[in-house]
Structure 1
C-alpha cells in the first residue's frame, strides 16, 4: 500500500508512519499547500486544510491513501485553544476525519495570534528555540514535554486508521 503524506514536517510524518506500522506500506512525503490561511483560526478551517492536503497528496503522489494533518486554533469563550485535525482520503470515498486533544494557549501567545502572527514563529520566539513546530510543538512546550506534537498527531492518526479499518471491514 502506498501512503502519500501531504507534509514534510517530521512530527507529522512520524505520526503517520507509526499509525501504519502494522501495514506493509511505502510512504511518500509531499510538500502540498493546505489551501487555508497560514494560521487556521477555527475547527472548520483546520479540517478544510487537512482534507485539502490529503486530496492533493493522493492526487500528486498517485498512491492508495492520502493523509493530511493540520494544526490550528479555535477561539472559545474560555480563550484560544490549540487544535489539530487529520484527514485520510481514498479514491471514490468520502474523507475520514479525526481531531485531537486541545489545550488552552496562554494569553501571551493568544494575543499575538489574534494580532495576526502565526503560531510556529511565535513559539520559536517565545521558547527561544528553532523549529518548535517540527519538534515538540506548542503542546510540548505547554505540557512540559509530557505530550509532543508527534504524540498529538499520533492520536489523530489512530482515529483515522481505526475508522479506515472499520470502513473496510464493514464495507461502509
Structure 2
C-alpha cells in the first residue's frame, strides 16, 4: 500500500509514519499546496487545508491513501488558540477528518498574528530559534515540551487511522 502525505515538514512526516506502521506500506512525502492562506485563521480553513493537502498528495502520487496535516489558529472569547487538523482520503473518494490539541497563545504572539504574520516565523523570533514548526512547534514551547508538534499530530493520525480501520469493518 502506498500512503502519501502532502508535506515535507519533518514533524508532520514523523507523525504520518504511524500510518505505515499501522497500515503497512510505504510513505511518500510530497510538497503540495494547501489551497488556504499561509496562516489559517479558523477551524474550517485549517480543515480545508488538511483535506486539500490529502487530496493533492493522492493526485500527485497515485497512492492508495492521501494524508494532509494542517496547523492553524482559532480566535475565541478566551484568546487565540492553536488548532490542528488532519485528513485521510482514499482512492475511492472516502475522507476522514480529525482534530487535535489546542493551547492558548500568549497575547504578544497573538497580536503578531492579528497583524498578518504567520505563526512559524513569529515563533522563531519569540524563541530565538530557527524552524520551530519543523521541531517542537508552538505547542512544544508553550506546553514546556510535554507535547511536541509531532506528538500532537500523532494523536490526529491515530484518530484518522482508527476511523479508516473502522470503516473497513462494515
Q: Which residue of 2 aligns with 1:5?
A: 5
Q: Return the TM-score normalized by structure 2.
A: 0.98
Query: Which ranges in structure 1 are unaligned for 5 or more consecutive residues?
Result: none
Q: In the alignment, is the contact (CA less than 8 A) between 1:3 and 1:25 conserved in 2?
A: yes
Q: Return the TM-score normalized by structure 1.
A: 0.97
How much has 1:45 moved relative to structure 2?
0.1
Cα distance in 2 for residues equivalent to 1:60 and 1:9? 17
Let me know the Cα RMSD of the aligned residues.
0.8
1:76-133 CA distances to partner (integer Å, 9 max, x unpaired)? 1111000000000002333100000100111010000001000000000000000000
Q: In the alignment, is the contact (CA less than 8 A) between 1:135 and 1:148 conserved in 2?
A: yes
Going from structure 1 to structure 2, the CA distance change for 1:19 and 1:64 (only over 3 Å counts) comes to closer
Q: Which residue of 2 aligns with 1:88?
A: 88
Q: Which residue of 2 aligns with 1:17?
A: 17
Bigger drift between 21-30 and 73-82 goes to: 21-30
How much has 1:169 moved relative to structure 2?
1.3
The structure 1 segments of at least 4 consecutive aligned residues displaced by more than 3 Å after TM superposition are: none
**Corresponding pairs, count:** 170
Secondary structure at the aligned position of 1:87 is classed as strand
Query: Which ranges in structure 2 are unaligned for 5 or more consecutive residues?
Result: none
